[in-house]
C-alpha cells in the first residue's frame, strides 16, 4: 500500500482575518474597520466602538538623508 499525499490550497485572502480587540469596551473587529492615521509625530489606531486609542506610538521618521 502506498501512502496518500494530499496537497491543499492556501485559504483565499478574503477569508484570512486580522481581528483587533478593544480592552476598554470589548469591541472586536477586522483591522480594516478600525480608524488609523498619523497626527503630528504620533501614529494611532482607534476603536470604532468607543473611540479609545488602542495603539499610539511615535511615527517612524524618515532616516535617509540627502548628500
Please tell me the pTM assigned to this model.
Answer: 0.56
Query: What digits encode the pLDDT tens for the residues 2-25?
Result: 555 556 666 555 555 688 899 999
Q: Residue 58: name the closest of 44, 41, 45, 46 by CA.
A: 41
Q: Is 60 helix (H, G, I), strand (E, B) or coil?
A: coil
Average of per-residue pLDDT across 29-39: 89
What the block records as the C-alpha cell of 66 is 540627502
Is there a contact between 10 and 18 (Cβ–Cβ < 8 Å)? no
Question: What kind and span of H or E run contains 50?
Answer: none
pLDDT over 90, % of the chain: 27
| Cα–Cα dist 14/34, whole Å | 17
Amino acid at each position: 500500500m502506498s501512502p496518500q499525499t494530499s496537497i491543499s490550497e492556501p485559504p483565499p485572502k478574503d477569508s484570512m482575518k486580522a481581528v483587533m480587540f478593544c480592552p476598554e469596551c470589548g469591541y472586536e473587529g477586522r483591522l480594516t474597520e478600525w480608524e488609523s492615521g498619523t497626527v503630528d509625530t504620533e501614529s494611532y489606531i482607534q476603536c470604532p466602538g468607543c473611540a479609545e486609542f488602542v495603539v499610539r506610538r511615535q511615527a517612524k521618521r524618515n532616516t535617509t538623508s540627502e548628500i
